[in-house]
Amino acid sequence: MIRQEECIVVGKVQKTHNLYGEVVIASDTDLLEKYADKPVFLLLEGAPVPFFISEEGLSMRNHHSYLVKFDLVDSQEEAEQLLGADVLVLGTDSDNVPAEPDIFDLVGFAVTDERSGAEGVVADVADYSGNIVFTLVIFGKEILLPLADDYLKQIDREEKKLVVFIPAEIADLY
């Protein structure tokens, strides 16, 4: 039997989402994603109760919450019984630090375009329905650049610098 002391809190069930048992879980960490194929535990009546996330049952709702469908929770009534429960995963406090720092902390970083050598700054990082988009002030204008390996080449958090590749087609749009 798993004890609460063996777990760390990664979120809280905030509300139901639909009639089929989905819930909204508020979370400031990506650990829920990392544990999607393992049991997570809901703290119900003071004890951690294991739940499995359904296949394809985890999606980011916004930067601070997820839509989750648990196996065997198939109605709004069943989901309502989970409201307010802490969501736990097995681990230690050191696990609570996300492996990758938050992408939204890149606002204000200097930017260099690998293709042209132009320099600028990250003005904003936004989440559009799960699609992360950088607003860069570069080439004397604002450029919207999606978060993708093809475009984001290097992050230097110590120097607060990004190296990006802005295709000519994107630069010419603005």
pLDDT at 81 over 70: yes
Both structure tokens of 163: 């190296």
pLDDT for 93:
45
Domain with CATH 2.40.30.60 in the chain: 4-96
pLDDT value, residue 97: 43
Q: Tens digits of per-residue pLDDT, 44-79?
A: 988 889 999 998 888 877 767 889 999 999 999 999
CB atoms within 10 A of CB 31: 23
State which fold the 103-173 domain adopts. SH3 type barrels. (2.30.30)
Q: What is the model's pLDDT at position 174?
A: 63
Element (H, E) at 170: helix 168-173
Instruction: Give CATH for domain 4-96.
Output: 2.40.30.60
Amino acid at 29: T
What separation in angstroms does the CA of 171 have from each of 37, 43, 144, 163?
A: 40, 50, 9, 15
In which residue ranges of the chain is CATH 2.30.30.240 found?
A: 103-173
Q: For 140-170, how does the pLDDT look when each residue is reduced to its tens digit (9 = 90+)?
A: 999 999 988 889 899 898 899 999 999 988 8
d(Cα 27, Cα 11) in Å, to the nearest integer? 4
pLDDT at 101: 54
